[in-house]
Amino acid sequence: MEVIFTVSKWEEKPVDDSRKDFPINIAHVEYEIDGELKGRAFVEYLLYYLESSINDGHLATAKISGFLHFEGTYKGKQGTFTAIEQGIFDKGNLDSPATIIKATGDLKSLTGSYNYQFTGPTSKMILDFEF
């Protein structure tokens, strides 16, 4: 199943400006998600740039690791879930498979995974969820 998301916030900075040999950035991110999964996601990413930097923007390549926390509804059921993501951002494409590690509310029994797909200006999450 596919849902559409938009990035409503992306704030990124070095974890520690004084350590040039520890080039890890942290990004505080928010997504607006629409479709059978509807709501907001709050994401904390750690990024390690590979032969590029934050200044390269969408042309950059970075290893990423993060946690996504979703608040909203899935198939009309209200709740939250937290997922762990790990992958790579490569020149505008995010390949970061994720797995749900905990869900609450009416989504308490939700399990599964998701990944991202970018087709032109549309950003999608491909969901593989089960109750």
Gap between the Cα atoms of 36 and 4, Å rounded:
10
Residue type, 67: F
Torsion of CA 105, 110, 112, 118, to 10 degrees: -50
The count of structural domains within the chain is 1
User: Which structural domain, as residue segments, surrounds residue 83?
Assistant: 2-130
**CA contacts within 13 A on the Cβ side of 128:** 8
DSSP state of 57: G
In this predicted model, what pLDDT tens digit does every residue of 63-74 receive, in sequence order?
999 999 999 999
| Ordered mean pLDDT values, 10 residues apiece, the chain (131 residues) | 94 89 91 97 96 87 97 98 96 92 98 90 92 93
Looking up residue 79, the CATH number of its domain turns out to be 2.40.350.10
pLDDT given at position 20: 76
